[in-house]
Amino acid sequence: MRTFKYLVLGLIIGTAVGLWLGVNLGKGKPLLSNPFNGPTLRQSLEQSGTRLKDKSEQLFEQGKNAVQDQMNK
């Protein structure tokens, strides 16, 4: 009975540690960081805004180049 108790305790602790390390590994974070600590809403919005700005700049440059090419023909 004693070994069964230790086996169950080991499985519970091993599962908890394995989940912790696995989640961090999957997210590309340091292994011992908090797996529940994610980006805040502000950080998410800033990242989305930056990506939107970069993409719109690229599209504007492509459109500008296409217009210049048509005018040069």
Under the banding of pLDDT at 50, 70 and 90, the label for residue 36 is confident
Q: How many CB atoms lie within 10 A of CB 24?
A: 16
Q: What residue ranges in the chain does DSSP mark as E strands?
A: none
Q: Largest alpha-carbon pair distance within the chain?
A: 88
Asked if residue 47 has pLDDT above 80, the reply is: yes
Instruction: Indicate whether this model's pTM tops 0.75.
Output: no
Under the banding of pLDDT at 50, 70 and 90, the label for residue 73 is confident
Asked if residue 58 has pLDDT above 90, the reply is: yes
* Per-residue model confidence (pLDDT) at position 26: 87
Average pLDDT, the chain: 91
Q: Which of 37, 35, 17, 13 is nearest to 26 (CA)?
A: 35
- What does the buried/exposed string (b/e) look like for 31-66 if buried means 16 or more CB atoms within 10 Å of the residue's CB? eeeebeeeeeeeeeeeeeeeeeeeeeeeeeeeeeee
